[in-house]
Amino acid sequence: MKRFWSLKIIKSTGIQISATSPGIVTTVALLVLPLLALTTPDVLSPVLTQDTVRRSGTQETETTPAADDAPNQLRTVVLDAGHGGKDPGTHGRYVKEKNINLDLILQLGRKIKNKHPNIRVIYTRSSDHFVDLYERGAIANRNRADLFISIHCNASPSSSQVNGTETYTLGLHKTQRNLDVARRENAVILQEKNYQQTYKGFDPNSPLATIMLANYQHAFMGSSINFAEKIEHSFRRDAERKSNGVKQAGFIVLWKATMPSVLIESGYLTNPSEENYLRSAEGQDEISSAIYKAFLQYKQEVEAGG
């Protein structure tokens, strides 16, 4: 029988899980993993510690350092344009997702910098190149970011009518559709060098793998959902978009980030009119403005001690 997951945490906890039955290992994982989530996330995968992350192929664009003058101040935000380089993401009739993501993230970064010159804005990529999924969160960790925002575009293989925005936080998916979105976004690890070693045999198609992921980000779940709700509200109110709401699923890109983190699906490239909106200057300005407004609201709330 196929071996679905093997987990060894000998050094830190003495725990070892290995199983040949997905049913058994799922049960064990559901019992043990919530406890592990209370420990440091790096115990599960020592290979991913900050000291060993591979820096090649990334571009950290750093701006003015923030002043260290208030305990709750939001000082650093990491902006992540999904996909890039050899990984185009999904595509519409005219555009590739990676290019729309980059346009949106750069516009959002400019809006934040214009209004808040003391905030450090760091991009996981600021041009068209490939960045490993785990490296994106590692960039945020290395820079002690206060917030991680990943922007993507969605796809519906079954219908060109499906449209609207959705914002994800890391968590256990409640519907097959949410799982499908995460699987599609996670599938890129198969294009990464040494992915089997890096992700310790993580199989993007395994239900157990998403349960594993869902237990991370536990400490930041409330803040992440709060920010995600502000984004979806702003999409509805300010950009008059159809909002499909805040959802949870197991996205690898959010896995290792040790701060509030969201992944925004800014619209469906498989819907022709939404594709036209996403690639238009007006549409991109509305989307990035709506995210910025949510960011501002969240920042004010955090800094007020909420």
Footprint on this chain of Zn ion (rule: CB under 5 A)? 82, 89, 152, 185
Only one residue has tokens 């290979």, namely 47
Residue 152 C-beta: closest distance to Zn ion, Å: 3
Residue 69 C-beta: closest distance to Zn ion, Å: 37
Which residue's C-beta sits nearest to Zn ion? Answer: 152
Q: How far, in Å, CA of 197 to CA of 155, rounded?
A: 29
Beta bridge partner(s), residue 123: 61, 79
State how far Cα 24 lies from the chain centre.
29
Q: Which is nearer to Zn ion, 82 or 260 (CB)?
A: 82
Q: Which is nearer to Zn ion, 80 or 229 (CB)?
A: 80
Residue 297 C-beta: closest distance to Zn ion, Å: 25
Q: Report how far apart, in Å, the C-alpha atoms of 245 and of each of 65, 74, 208, 248, 276 are.
A: 34, 25, 25, 10, 22
Residue 209 C-beta: closest distance to Zn ion, Å: 18
Q: How far, in Å, CA of 107 to CA of 130, rounded?
A: 20
What residues contact residue 244 under an 8 Å CB cut-off, 6+ apart? 164, 165, 166
Q: Which is nearer to Zn ion, 121 or 264 (CB)?
A: 264
Q: How far, in Å, CA of 18 to CA of 302, rounded?
A: 41
Residue 181 C-beta: closest distance to Zn ion, Å: 9
Q: Which is nearer to Zn ion, 152 or 247 (CB)?
A: 152
Q: Which is nearer to Zn ion, 82 or 204 (CB)?
A: 82
Q: Report how far apart, in Å, the C-alpha atoms of 305 and of each of 201, 295, 300 are.
A: 41, 15, 9
